[in-house]
Amino acid sequence: MIKFAKDYFGVMAIGMCLLVGYVLLTDVFGVLSAFLFPSIFKVLKLFPQYIDQLMTGLLSSLFLLITAYVMAVITAITLGTIVGLKSGLRKNVTPYIYAFSAIPVPLLTPYAINLLPTFQAASIFLIWLAAFWVIFGTTIGAVMSIDKRYLETAAILEMSKAEKLYKIILPAASPSILVGCSIALTLSFMMLSVAEMFGARSGMAYFVQYYSDFAKFDVVMLGFFFTSAVLVLIMYVFDTIKHRILHWTINN
């Protein structure tokens, strides 16, 4: 516990400063509108009342997020590695990658809802697509930038293609790939919020949208705090996994 406090003292200090700043602007000086920015103490008192709705929404959101994100990681890294290794293939598909990846994913929401059989399938597709392009692009770039000396060493050692892939290519490319995965996870969370505002019946973003329609901004603020806490926890877990994978790098 002491080690944790030392490691994250700066994070906790900034968080306390933001909290104190919010209290000063609302409860003390009244600079912010009490209607739009309710007291933090009033918001926290609502937590027991809405805990069931928040947890139901959390489970619904996590199912969509995890399903789509895992699919994106698997497909993007697989295809990105293939394209990155094959210069001829890369030359032919790169213009199409630029063209399709430039289309903002939220604009595809009406098509996904109308073409796919369920809202759940449409949501998973949109979140998958948002994460896919980021991981796909970073994987191609990471594989292309591998030092040729690594591959020459693998050839000298007469490694098989599978050994070269898992012992040379992917480890060498993994730092850049995981940076893309981190960015994609944040984008997936944002796309989850967009997707849940179109036809959802549960979810963290749906919770916020539902109560904002009734102008209950104290409950909306509770949803914001809860969603932010969940995102911070997810990113912390991801960073822990990333550091374990990249334990051999200088920054770990």
pLDDT score, position 149: 84
Residue 143 pLDDT level (bands cut at 50, 70, 90): very high
4-17 pLDDT per residue, tens? 667 778 888 998 99
Q: What is the mean pLDDT of residues 142-169?
A: 86
* Percentage of residues of the chain with pLDDT beyond 90: 72
Q: Report the chain's mean pLDDT, rounded to a whole number.
A: 91
23-79 pLDDT per residue, tens? 999 999 989 999 999 999 999 999 999 999 999 999 999 999 999 999 999 999 999
pLDDT score, position 153: 82
Q: What is the DSSP string of the chain?
A: -HHHHHHTHHHHHHHHHHHHHHHIIIIIS--S-TTTS--HHHHHHTHHHHHHHHHHHHHHHHHHHHHHHHHHHHHHHHHHHHHHH-HHHHHHHHHHHHHHHTS-GGGGHHHHHHHSSSHHHHHHHHHHHHHHHHHHHHHHHHHHTS-HHHHHHHHHTT--HHHHIIIIIHHHHHHHHHHHHHHHHHHHHHHHHHHHTTT-SSSHHHHHHHHHHTT-HHHHHHHHHHHHHHHHHHHHHHHHHHHHHTTTSTT-
The domain 49-246: what is its CATH number? 1.10.3720.10
For residue 252, pLDDT over 60 is answered with no
Q: What is the mean pLDDT of residues 125-145?
A: 95
For residue 199, pLDDT over 80 is answered with no
- Among the listed ranges 40-54, 55-69, 180-194, 234-248, which one has the minimum average pLDDT value? 234-248
pLDDT score, position 19: 92
67-86 pLDDT per residue, tens? 999 999 999 999 999 999 99
pLDDT score, position 211: 95
